[in-house]
A and B are shown apart, each in its own frame.
Chain A
Amino acid sequence: MTGWRAMLQPHRLFLMALFAGLVIWCALSLRWDWLPEYGPLALQGLWRTIWILAVTTILGFALAVPLGLAQAIGPWYLSAPARAFCTVIRGTPLLLQIWLLYYGLGSLFPQFPWIRGSELWPYLRQAWPYAVLALTLSYAGYEGEVMRGAFASVNKGQLEAARAFGMPRLTMFRRIWLPQAIRNVLPTLGGETILQLKATPLVATITVIEIYSVSSRVRSDTFIVYEPLLLLALVYMIIAGIIALAFKKIEDRVPDRPRQR
């Protein structure tokens, strides 16, 4: 109710009209005749972007948890390698990591006959496994650092309560420590996932056809420059919006403090 009324204030109406005008102008006076031809390819690219994002964030986070834990409470022989890994990943450009894996590992593998003869070879000669590996390690590196802080930030009293009630260590980790740690850094994780989305175009440089490379393809085929890029920007904004919304929903489900209105 009040939400709708707030929308009807004059300055908001003006901005909305301006935006609608912009969209209509884009639709009418720009060239979209390439869309039918490239639509199916664009959808494929979009799908690839989405699954690469989903797979690499999930796998990356699964790696980030032990990386963070090792740094937070691990003995030196676990925490030192974990810290080194996070430092190297965070200290070097992702593009470099992708290329090192693809051109480095990718050109090393064929020299070994037993790799060429293995079941995995049909996958290893494609580009996407290297893209997924690089993006996964990158996300793990950044989130490993985030989770280190997250584990350290969990209220000690709550862990003590778990101990005082005889909770075994693994149960305590699963039921109390990990959920609280994740809860504490959900806003950060949401932002990092959006950053990860915006890192995916880099895999276009190793011939993985995702949504960004489709727009490049349109440009080089048809010499239409702006329209594919505009549409691309819109697509990324929509995905980023969905990610932000999803994280907001999860945050609201577990309120750790009364929400401010």
Chain B
Amino acid sequence: MTAQARQTNAPAPADMAILVEDLHKSFGALEVLKGVSLSARKGDVVAIIGGSGSGKSTLLRCINFLETPTSGRITVAGEEIAMRRDGSPADRRQIERIRTRLGMVFQAFNLWTHRTLLENVIEVPVHVLKTPRAEAIARARILLERVGLADKADTFPAFLSGGQQQRAAIARALAVDPSAMLFDEPTSALDPELVGEVLTVIRDLAAEGRTMLLVTHEMKFAREVASHVVYLFEGQIEEQGPPDQLFGAPQSARLKQFLQTVG
């Protein structure tokens, strides 16, 4: 054990939901993340914005190890993920356990198409967390009701609109009672008229104090719901701060230009 093994200035506070320290990720010779540090306390809504190729999705996917980081440290709900030298997870069980605490919502919904909405929502509670089936079903019905899909419980995903599928995917993520939710561009694959219904659900979750990391292209929405906004440029955090400051008075020239092109 050397003194350099832990470089953090202070131990992680108890209410820290997600802590990312000096995260690097390369795909071959291409370095996508060049040392990103990020933290979210319980109840924080952190919006991650940036141009395409800025590494924002990769950053999100590294947190639950869908992508294996090259180096860095990741702590979820106070538990640091054990990594080997090359960044690969040292303990598969630990990764699986931590993943069950992170409800992820994908750009392409990724509902399991061979199961009904209800079955999608109870799948992880019943078959991973070993919740009694009846209990899981009762909870799933409440969640589907919440996202406005109570009457679609027995429908297969293929019969639903993109907005409905994404709301079901949010219910599926809520079913594990996550300590933090990861949204990977949840509205990017939706027709414009369906974006609103999904944002409404996310807004409600933010209002009730859910911890969320949100990669998004919806700047207005990010400004409205986020407690903290991070602007990523070429794999590094270019600027971050409260939304009003970041959107209202951006400091960096790149962010100013980015906000002009997307705004």
Q: List residues of chain A with CB under 8 Å of any chain B CB.
A: 155, 157-158, 160-168, 171, 175-176, 179-180, 183, 254-258
Contact = CB atoms under 8 A, between A and B. Distances in A.
B202 interface: no
B159 A164 contact: no
A255 B100 contact: no
A3 to B, nearest CB: 23
A34 B104 CA distance: 70
A183 B114 contact: yes
B106 A166 contact: no
B128 interface: yes
A208 B2 CA distance: 76
Interface in B97-152: 97-100, 102-104, 106, 108-114, 123-124, 127-128
B115 to A, nearest CB: 8
Contacts, number: 72
A167 B113 contact: no
B104 A161 contact: yes
Contacts of B98: 166
Query: Which residue among A155, A164, A254 has the maximum number of chain B CB atoms within 10 Å of its CB?
Result: A164
B190 to A, nearest CB: 15
Given A171-B127, A255-B158, A163 B113 contact: no
23 contacts: A157-B106, A157-B109, A157-B110, A161-B110, A164-B102, A164-B104, A164-B106, A165-B99, A165-B100, A165-B103, A165-B123, A165-B128, A165-B172, A165-B176, A166-B96, A166-B100, A175-B123, A180-B112, A183-B114, A254-B114, A255-B156, A255-B159, A256-B158
Contact of A158 (B99, B103, B110, B156): B110
Given A168-B128, A171-B127, A163 B66 contact: yes
Nearest to B123: A175
A160 B64 CA distance: 11
B113 A158 contact: yes
Interface of B: 64, 66, 95-100, 102-104, 106, 108-114, 123-124, 127-128, 156, 158-159, 172, 176
B109 to A, nearest CB: 8
Contact of A180 (B95, B114, B128, B172): B114
Contacts of B108: 157
B112 A164 contact: no
A167 B125 CA distance: 10
A180 B114 CA distance: 7
Closest 6 CB pairs of A and B: A166-B99, A166-B100, A161-B110, A157-B110, A164-B104, A166-B96
A160 B66 CA distance: 8
B76 to A, nearest CB: 12
Contact of A176 (B103, B112, B156): B112
A257 B159 CA distance: 7
Contacts of B113: 155, 158, 180, 256
B120 to A, nearest CB: 9
B27 to A, nearest CB: 16
Given A162-B112, A167-B127, 18 more contacts: A157-B108, A157-B109, A160-B106, A161-B106, A163-B66, A165-B100, A165-B123, A165-B124, A165-B128, A165-B176, A166-B124, A167-B128, A168-B96, A176-B112, A180-B112, A180-B113, A254-B156, A255-B158
Nearest to B104: A164
Contact of B99 (A163, A254, A258): A163
A240 B257 CA distance: 67
B124 A258 contact: no
A160 B61 CA distance: 11
Query: Which residue among B98, B109, B114, B124 has the maximum number of chain A CB atoms within 10 Å of its CB?
Result: B114
Contacts of A179: 114
Contacts of B99: 163-166
A182 to B, nearest CB: 9
Contacts of B106: 157, 160-161, 164
A117 to B, nearest CB: 48
A254 B115 CA distance: 8
Contact of A258 (B64, B96, B158): B158
Contacts of B123: 165, 175
